[in-house]
């Protein structure tokens, strides 16, 4: 096992970290197809770093919570990542691999990624936790469900899911300090449940682990103020400022510069109260 945790020093900065989203997919709900060309993807990576991204989150298979993602074969996912991931990692900013496949995660860590972002929280593929433990890679465990259920106490559901995931991680030998929790805004939730997850985020502090929130351009924003995904910046910023105020340690966003500015202003105002 490699004794490295690239998140530790970043989290010690004492401010919410910014994770910039980089999708090399044709069908992601917001930016599908924009960065399929490797040179465009690397240019976007450089742009996000210049704007203040602390982490780049690279994905090659859409996990669209709405409209249904199209499954991507293992070989195709790696083919999309091959010309981008090593080049992005060489820019010097930590890269996380957004994947549901243990073999892709294993390949990605060997190719320069240093964090695994699993939208099924170690519960889709048994091997994912073992790969993370063997590689010594921090893991983002995201809550997910196949279908939303409006009748659920969503915070109890999320807590139960995380408890199961943490058991899987412990059994695989994955250090607890290598884990970040993500309530999965928009995934297996009604719009109202996504808002509840942000509003009641501090309830997850009982796990004693950093929390990531990714509300960027999600559908619940349009439920409140109708707009297509690329016109949900204002709602994304509002959600992320609230998430940071409620304890989020990492914010995952498409819009790095605007999110950095919003969080800095919110923090400055809070500091003079």
Question: 58, 89 in Cβ contact below 8 A?
Answer: no
Based on the residue annotation, tell me whether 252 is a catalytic residue of this protein: yes
Contacts of 213 (CB under 8 A, 6+ apart): 182, 183, 185, 198, 201, 239, 240, 243, 248, 250, 251, 252
Of 270, 185, 189, 183, the closest CA to residue 235 belongs to 185
Question: 78, 113 in Cβ contact below 8 A?
Answer: no
The dihedral over CA atoms of 131, 136, 139, 145, expressed in degrees to the nearest 10, equals 20
Based on the residue annotation, tell me whether 218 is a catalytic residue of this protein: yes
DSSP state, residue 263: H
Structure tokens at 206: 């009982």
Question: 90, 133 in Cβ contact below 8 A?
Answer: no
Of 61, 106, 111, 261, the closest CA to residue 251 belongs to 261
| Residue from 101, 130, 189, 218 carrying the catalytic annotation | 218
Residues marked as catalytic: 218, 252
């Amino acid at each position: 096992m490699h004794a490295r945790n690239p998140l530790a020093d970043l989290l010690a900065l004492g401010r919410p970290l910014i994770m910039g989203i980089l999708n090399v997919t044709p069908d992601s709900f917001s930016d599908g197809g924009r960065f399929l060309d490797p040179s465009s993807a690397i240019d976007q990576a450089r742009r996000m770093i210049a704007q203040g991204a602390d982490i780049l989150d690279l994905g090659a298979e859409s996990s669209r919570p709405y409209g249904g993602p199209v499954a991507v074969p293992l070989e195709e996912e790696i083919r999309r990542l091959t010309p981008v991931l090593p080049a992005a990692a060489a820019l010097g900013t930590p890269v996380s691999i957004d994947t549901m496949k243990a073999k892709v995660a294993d390949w990605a860590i060997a190719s320069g990624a240093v964090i695994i972002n699993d939208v099924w929280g170690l519960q889709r593929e048994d091997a994912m936790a073992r790969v993370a433990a063997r590689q010594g890679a921090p893991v983002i465990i995201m809550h997910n469900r196949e279908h939303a259920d409006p009748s659920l106490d969503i915070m109890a559901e999320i807590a139960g899911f995380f408890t199961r995931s943490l058991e899987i991680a412990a059994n695989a030998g994955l250090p607890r300090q290598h884990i970040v929790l993500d309530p999965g805004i928009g995934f297996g939730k009604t719009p109202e449940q996504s808002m509840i997850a942000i509003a009641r985020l501090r309830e997850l502090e009982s796990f004693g682990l950093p929390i990531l929130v990714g509300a960027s351009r999600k559908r619940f924003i349009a439920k409140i103020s109708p707009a297509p995904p690329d016109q949900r910046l204002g709602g994304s910023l509002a959600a992320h400022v609230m998430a940071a105020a409620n304890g989020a340690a990492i914010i995952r966003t498409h819009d790095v510069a605007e999110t950095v500015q919003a969080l800095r202003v919110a923090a400055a105002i809070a500091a003079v109260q």
